[in-house]
Amino acid sequence: MRIVSGIQPTGNLHLGNYLGAIRNWVQMQDAMAEGSQCLFFLADLHAISMPHVPAQLHAATLEMAAALVACGIDPERSILFNQAQVPAHAELQWLLNGTARMGWLSRMTQFKDKSGKNREGASVALFTYPVLQAADVLLYQATHVPVGEDQKQHLELARDVAQKFNNDFCAEDAPVFTLPEPIIPPEAARIMSLRDGTAKMSKSDPSDMARINLTDDADTIMQKVRKARTDPEPLPSELAGLEGRPEAANLVGIYAVMAGTGREAVLRDFGGQGFGAFKPALGELLVAKLAPINQRFTELKADREALDAILARGALRAHEIARPTLNAAYKALGLVRGR
């Protein structure tokens, strides 16, 4: 197994990232069999697809590295790096631009969402973003890619690109690329905003009250949960009673994943009770589970030299793994390179 996944170093790591993806990264790392490998990276090249402040991106990249280590990514067992230190990502993206089709990219919902009404003003990078994401995983022959539901479409595109490249340029018994499988946690595929149960929790939401950041202190977490939007009904005792109640379903889902139980068990305990009782219990659970991460994060982020060293070493290791695949892609395309 080769597990590969990434996160954009824009803004804070929030509960959606943590439950939808990072927790899975850590679990997969910890369950790794001999001969398997995990590569996790900061998608700083993706971050320039939207307007950004260079100095902030630099700081955010180091901070996100600290956050991942605080969540349990072990840079000894996993390869942790940022894309910008491994030029093979950008190189392979260009090679794959010849295979990806305009029509495929035009159907990407993230491009439609992020460009909004101003498509003409969107960056070219935002449009070709999914091709870089395909390069990210294909470069390492990833077999499994742990992500949240919102990245599923990008992963399908990566498979399409790999398949077309293999068909067009490789002998049937010698494909260059492995088709990666997305791994999406069924119970936390989509953590929703605390202000709107129909929108995903996101770092681009202008309201900080919509998300729990892993760096929020206990008071902030309690306040955000207390103010989370809900409806006036008490919690149901059965799952069916959550239908048509997106905010209630989201909070129950978060509780269930954080407590490591099912949603049924949460409803058995809280069914019939109002949010006045449930919200403080959820807030306390979040504070208890996130406090150790928060503390480790605060210690780690101060040590910039150690973070630089982790990323530099990760980049070297990643580069070694990437090289044969990148060379094979150049060769398959008939591109002449010096020795």
Q: Which stretch binds ligand TYM (CB under 6 A): 15-23, 71-79, 120-128, 283-291?
A: 15-23
Q: Which two tokens stand for residue 327?
A: 């060379």
> Which residues neighbour 249 within 8 Å (Cβ) at sequence distance 6 or greater?
197, 242, 243
The reply to whether 203 belongs to the active site is yes
How many helices (H) and strands (E) are present in the chain, helices listed first?
A: 14, 5
Residues between 299 and 338 that touch ligand TYM (CB under 6 A): none
Q: Which stretch binds ligand TYM (CB under 6 A): 30-38, 195-203, 274-282, 311-319?
A: 195-203
> Which residues neighbour 132 within 8 Å (Cβ) at sequence distance 6 or greater?
45, 46, 89, 90, 93, 125
Closest CA to 150 of 108, 122, 195, 115: 108
Residue 200 in contact with ligand TYM, rule: CB under 6 A: yes
Find the shortest distance in angstroms from Cβ 237 to ligand TYM: 26
Q: Which two tokens stand for residue 46?
A: 């993706």
Residue 145 in contact with ligand TYM, rule: CB under 6 A: yes
Find the shortest distance in angstroms from Cβ 17 to ligand TYM: 4
Active-site residue (options: 114, 152, 164, 289): 114
Query: Do the Cβ atoms of 100 and 132 come closer than 8 Å?
Result: no
* Element housing 224 (H / E): helix 218-226
Question: How distant, in Å, are the alpha carbons of 20, 26, 76 from that of 30?
Answer: 17, 6, 12
Residue 5 in contact with ligand TYM, rule: CB under 6 A: yes
Q: Which stretch binds ligand TYM (CB under 6 A): 147-155, 239-247, 271-279, 306-314?
A: 147-155
Residue 210 in contact with ligand TYM, rule: CB under 6 A: no
Residue 282 in contact with ligand TYM, rule: CB under 6 A: no
Question: How distant, in Å, are the alpha carbons of 146, 147, 269 from that of 129?
Answer: 18, 16, 44
Q: Give the residue, chosen from 8, 78, 166, 230, that forms a contact with ligand TYM under the rule CB under 6 A.
A: 8
Residue 133 in contact with ligand TYM, rule: CB under 6 A: yes
Residue 114 in contact with ligand TYM, rule: CB under 6 A: no
Q: DSSP string of 49-106? A: TS---HHHHHHHHHHHHHHHHHHT--TTTSEEEEGGG-THHHHHHHHHHTTS-HHHHH
Residue 147 in contact with ligand TYM, rule: CB under 6 A: yes
Q: Give the residue, chosen from 43, 70, 266, 300, that forms a contact with ligand TYM under the rule CB under 6 A.
A: 43
The reply to whether 114 belongs to the active site is yes
Three-state DSSP class for 198? coil
**Could you list the residues that contact ligand TYM (CB under 6 A)?**
5-8, 16-17, 20-21, 43, 46, 133, 136-137, 145, 147-148, 150-151, 190-191, 200-202
Active site residues: 114, 200, 203
